[in-house]
Chain A
Amino acid sequence: MAGLFLLMTVGPSVAADVPTGAQIFSKRCASCHGTIGEGVKDKYPRALAGDKSVAQLAKLIARTMPDDDPGTCTGADADRVAEYVFESFYSKAARDRNAPPRIEFARMTVGQYRNAVADLVASFRPARKPDGRHGLRGEYFNARGIQTNKRSIDRIDREVKFDFGTAAPGPDPAKFDPYQFSARWSGSVLAEQTGTYEFVVKTEHAIRLWVNDPVKPLIDAWVKSGSDTEFRAPIYLLAGRTYSLRLEFSKAKQGVDDSKKLKRKPQVRASVALEWKPPVGTAGIIPTRNLSPESSPEVYICSTPFPPDDRSYGWVRGTAISKAWDQATTDAALDAAAHVAVVADELAGVQGSNRRRRDTGSGNPASINLDSQGGVVAPTPERIGKLKAFARTFAERAFRRPLDDDLTKFVVDRSFASAKDPTDAVKRVVLFVLLSPRFLYREADASPDGYDVAARLSFGLWDSIPDAELLAAARAGKLSTREQVESQARRMLADPRAQAKLHEFLLTWLKIDRPLDLAKDPKKFPGFDPAVIGDLRTSLDLTLDDVLTSQGADFRRLLLDDTLFVNDRLAAFYGAAKPDGANFQKEPLDPGHRAGVLSHPYLLAAFSHASETSPIHRGVFLARGILGVALRPPPEAIAPLPPDLHPGLSTRERVSLQTTSSACMTCHGVINPLGFTLENFDAVGRYRDEERNKPVDASGSYQTRTGETKTFRGVRDLARFLADSDEVHSSFTEQLVHHLVQQPVRAYGPRTLETLTQSFAKNDYDIRKLAVEIMATTALAPRIQKGTASPPPK
């Protein structure tokens, strides 16, 4: 950093005898302004800081400086000293760079915003009570439509994938008229990713599908029209949450029932399948593990598009405000306020409040907001009281702390006093609350109290606002000791939202938390199609969850496990044993040759070219991502040598040839010997002994920061080293801190990373325990106010 800095300020073209900006400053300016522009008492006491450009500064200096002899520092001298001042301590960027790391005041990230709004509204709905069962409730009716008194079967179906043929469902055909019957599957579906899911129903008959919204169907094909047998619709869902799902099916004609008039009922086939296409991963039948038979309350989902958050530090931060962000926030608040106004009576617990929403079928959504003009629910004093209490609680949960009297008046009372209708007042309160800095920003208080600790915990583990239990603990003063914080963190980890956040972290750690193009040359890798790629992603997701949810959540298993989650398709492609049934199962693959995620085909393919492997991409991933080595970007973009130019060379030899120069070797001396250890796996992650009829050389090495040179032969050797390496543990810990708290780890003290890494080792590399440790360490930390500039790096 320091070297780069000097390069920028001085510039390589300055001849040795010309004084640098730094030299001029020290000679002619420092006596009044201080050696680093911090100011000198009785001379010029204020620090040099501001927002003028280099050119403006140069002009000012040429005209006015030095104070005792203006006009003697002009031209190139003024330019150089201005540049030095600007880059060293004057500009905002320089001041930020020079400041010691601190807990940053920031707004919520976009992901946190979506979660917070969803959980805020959901906190007024009954909590879901999962009982651990999987699948959907399946009810079958001996009638054209859903008629409870005609129900003949009531059971749990593991998935919806039925071919009834021309017969009736169930073991007892006597219960059914196979000519016409209906069925309903209901329960919940868990979304593991945030993004757009596509739901797909395949059937020859009439269906209606509701997801999340209990009123308006996501797919309405109750009128069968034309020959379509596949119906699909997209919906944006948030990870770590379950959504109510209901599928109604009818093998019958609707309208007039003429079945009794028919002399001979034709034999008609019937089948139905409920599938989905997640944002990434396997498209197909919605798997049993994502389904549960009990229903879920509606989740309000903010789907307003937002500009992306800053990721320049390697983790998302809400430190930038833009007009686009402000507009998106306002859009989202208006949308949420409109929704809450429609369901306000339900959320506030007003009696008889379930009549306000109706649906007009396949056309427009008809969630209507009957305001004063509609006047369906009369504004009785009792109703007004409940809505007002709701509005106040809404503000408190959004602000993560109780409202004092003044704020209650400001936020709630005034709205209710001025609005003609209490629903309008609720809308007004919700709009304000969601636009208030008290909701949007985090870390406003210099000395955090229990409520701040609650918010740090919830944003840290859930990326969302505190739940009732956290707020209660804050109220009772039970978030002031490390033990209390730890015990809350442990409780919170059981929530699917924490699971989703840790899962997301592992994807970030593996550098695959963004859309990747894994497509390969179809001639070289026939069969490696989008379906296989989707399966690989699901396989990797299952691998990560398998470790995260296991007893001990041992980090080392991520690197050392020698099995692979496969379905039929993957087993066939990679030559693993076929799993029992169509679902994913863990199977051994290439015994003795595989090592956890390091040899997972998804990663190996992600860090490969379209037709060849890429030891450089794999090496960079290992060095930067796993070992935490800081690598500078290459000085210029260089295309890999085409293999056809050197038909006699292996990939390893080609890469070595291209990076032999000493300029390359500063970094590639680290990168290449790490990447070479994975050469036993081709560009789609299949094991190979030979490449181009030559035996693969998968030997490699790494020089540790203590100076030892470690050598490896193949991925298992490498994995054993990495699993035990302090560097790897420290890098993993640091990245997890950043992912959870979104603050630089050094903001919590110079030795915090070391202490956390040691506790990681002490706890047998339990990832969940590490998350608890991180929260216990960071949630109670005081904020350091940003002081004056410290000396620039030497």
Chain B
Amino acid sequence: MFPANSRREFLRNLGIGSAAVPFVLNLPSLGFANQATRKQRLIVVFSPNGIFPASFWPDEEGAIFKLKEILQPLAPLQDKVLTLHGVCDKIRGDGDGHMRGIGCLLTGIELFPGNIQGGSDTPAGWSKGISVDQEIKNFLQKGAATRTRFGSLELGVMVPDRADTWTRMVYAGPNKPIAPVDDPYQLFNKLYGRVKDRETLKSALDDVTHDLKTVGNAVSADDRRLLDEHATFVREMEKELKETKDTVGHAVPKLEPGIKRENDRMPQIAKQQVELLVTSFAADFARVATFQITNSVGQAKMRWLGITEGHHELSHEPDTNEKAVDKLIKINTWYCEQVAYLAKRLSETPEPGGPGSLLDNTLIMWTNELGKGNSHTMDNIPFVLVGNGLDFKMGRSLKYKKVAHNRLLMSLAHGFGHRVKTFGNPNHCGDGPLNLV
């Protein structure tokens, strides 16, 4: 009768009503069906426009390596860091480098032909396939032991208000881009709106009961029967509401009010998003997340670092422009700081009901649509992994000889026990997942 995308089912979201099921609620009293085994998690962090390789990649290979300038913020966690040099995005076809860079980054497959024209190459549309985070989310949501309320969360910071190939990284399937939520208040409502709704409903039902009585007194005894019946159901709902009091199970994070969604507030927005992400993981709202800071061709102006130019235009400057290079290093260092802050917050948060910290069970993969901005190369895409979620052997600098990034995407799926034979374009999956264990 109704379109599939009709509005959310409120009572279900409030954790009451016949449709309520334990996994939706994460209700301790109903038994944590999904708490028995170790929880594994994945966060993909995106920053745009390539990096400056000489200040990024460690020179050494193996367990003993020195973090370069851009990666310095990760120094306190170096034993949990894995850098992967030599992993290349080999997807070609329609679309310019930036479009394919972000659109094929997690999907590993070409873009459809379309009407979005870049600065070069042929025009293109959306990606032809699902992104690996959604593939893993679907896999986890299939099992009762790994299912969570949201499955995955798509976060962003200052993603422009337009839907095109440059602004979308996550795909639910071919031609199905998912927009990241880049407004912490909106994300907060998604995560905790129901807590507030529940409070409001509780107090409203109190009044409804009272009102049913008042109106009931004014009608005849026969008419009152209908209202009495109604009152019984209202009382039942009140009771159910009371019983589902503690569905969040943790302190609801407090957001600093009034942060506007604008360039200069990026640092505050990023911090708020990290807080919401960490609490969401602690509450087991989801086990997969993406965190897209700006977009492919992102034009953040990092005035808080004293940089007034847009990031993308700086990224086109030649390597000989020392001032520009200096700024690009600063910009990428700032992005690394966000990754480091996220990792730090995860490492400070104990794993609920288990040993260690969230970071012991979470893998962060920081990446980018390009290897280097001014060449638009998709070789040596910066893949930096942090954390022990997938039991990769961390604390290493690895150097590959131009392997396709599809194989890394496969490693992520395999890390969750999802043994895909190929991912994305099968032609690039030749020797299977990269062995990172």
Contacts and interface: CB of A to CB of B under 8 A. Distances in A.
Interface in B278-325: none
A254 B99 CA distance: 13
B204 interface: yes
Q: How large is the interface on B (under 10, 10 to 19, 20 to 34, 35 or more residues)?
A: 35 or more
B163 A363 contact: yes
Contact of B163 (A107, A205, A220, A258): A220
Nearest to B125: A225
B362 interface: no
A437 B114 contact: no
Given A196-B2, A303-B6, A105 B223 contact: yes
A436 B185 contact: no
B257 interface: yes
Given A303-B7, A360-B179, A361-B162, A326 B230 contact: yes
B15 to A, nearest CB: 13
B269 to A, nearest CB: 13
B275 interface: no
Contacts of B186: 366, 368
Interface in B162-179: 162-168, 174-175, 177-179
A148 interface: no
Interface in B183-236: 183, 185-186, 188-189, 193, 196-197, 200-201, 203-205, 207-208, 211-212, 215-216, 218-220, 222-223, 226-227, 229-230, 233-234, 236
B183 A304 contact: no
A743 to B, nearest CB: 14
A252 to B, nearest CB: 7
A427 B112 CA distance: 44
Contacts of A338: 10, 197
B219 A105 contact: yes
A431 B189 contact: no
Contacts of B18: 327
A431 B204 contact: yes
B272 to A, nearest CB: 10
B223 A223 contact: no
A432 B257 CA distance: 28
A592 interface: no
B7 A253 contact: no
Given A105-B223, A435-B204, A330 B11 contact: yes
A331 B164 contact: no
Given A222-B163, A223-B165, A334-B201, A252 B115 contact: yes
Contacts of B93: none
A373 B192 CA distance: 12
A441 B159 CA distance: 47
A435 B237 CA distance: 13
Contacts of A322: 233
B179 A363 contact: yes
A361 B163 contact: yes
A383 to B, nearest CB: 16
Contacts of B215: 437-438, 441, 444
Contacts of A226: 112-114, 125-126, 128, 174-175
A669 interface: no
B3 A374 contact: no
Interface residues of A, number: 76
Contacts of A303: 2-3, 6-7
B178 to A, nearest CB: 5
B6 A254 contact: no
Interface in A391-441: 410-411, 424, 427-428, 431-432, 435-438, 441
B3 A234 contact: yes
A447 to B, nearest CB: 12
Interface in B20-46: none
Interface string B115-131: 11111000111101000
A225 B118 contact: no
Given A254-B115, A331-B10, A326 B208 contact: no
B161 interface: yes
B266 to A, nearest CB: 17
Contact of B11 (A236, A334, A436): A334
A372 interface: yes
B17 interface: yes
B189 A196 contact: no
B208 A432 contact: yes
A373 B154 CA distance: 21
Interface in A203-220: 205-206, 220
Contact of B117 (A258, A366, A368, A369): A258
Q: Which of A106, A305, A374, A427 has the most CB of B within 10 A?
A: A374
Nearest to B180: A363
B9 interface: yes
B244 to A, nearest CB: 14
A222 B126 CA distance: 11
A323 interface: yes
A369 B194 CA distance: 13
Contact of B236 (A106, A323, A432): A323
Nearest to B211: A436
A304 B7 contact: yes
A257 interface: yes
B258 interface: yes
B3 A334 contact: no
A436 B154 CA distance: 38
Nearest to A427: B200
B13 to A, nearest CB: 9
Contact of B126 (A223, A335, A424, A786): A223
Contact of A361 (B6, B161, B197): B161
B251 interface: no
B106 interface: no
B54 interface: no
A359 interface: yes
B117 A321 contact: no
A371 B258 CA distance: 10
B429 interface: no
A254 B117 contact: yes
A321 B185 contact: no
Contacts of B119: 256
Contacts of A438: 211, 215
Nearest to B7: A335
Given A223-B125, A437-B230, A373 B114 contact: no
A432 to B, nearest CB: 5
A210 B226 CA distance: 42
A354 interface: no
Contact of B6 (A206, A222, A236, A364): A236
Contacts of B180: 363
A785 interface: yes
B115 A321 contact: no
Contacts of B188: 373
B437 interface: no
B255 interface: yes
A435 B117 contact: no
Contacts of B328: none
B172 to A, nearest CB: 10
A224 interface: yes
A321 B212 contact: no
B16 to A, nearest CB: 9
21 contacts: A222-B164, A223-B126, A225-B124, A226-B126, A253-B116, A254-B115, A256-B118, A305-B1, A323-B236, A330-B201, A331-B17, A334-B14, A338-B10, A362-B177, A368-B186, A410-B207, A431-B204, A432-B211, A435-B208, A437-B216, A444-B219
| Complex A-B, nearest 5 residue pairs according to Cβ-Cβ distance, in ascending order | A363-B179, A225-B125, A361-B163, A224-B115, A234-B3
Given A361-B163, A368-B186, 18 more contacts: A105-B220, A105-B223, A223-B125, A223-B163, A225-B124, A257-B117, A321-B226, A323-B233, A326-B230, A334-B10, A334-B11, A363-B179, A431-B200, A435-B205, A435-B208, A438-B215, A444-B223, A785-B220
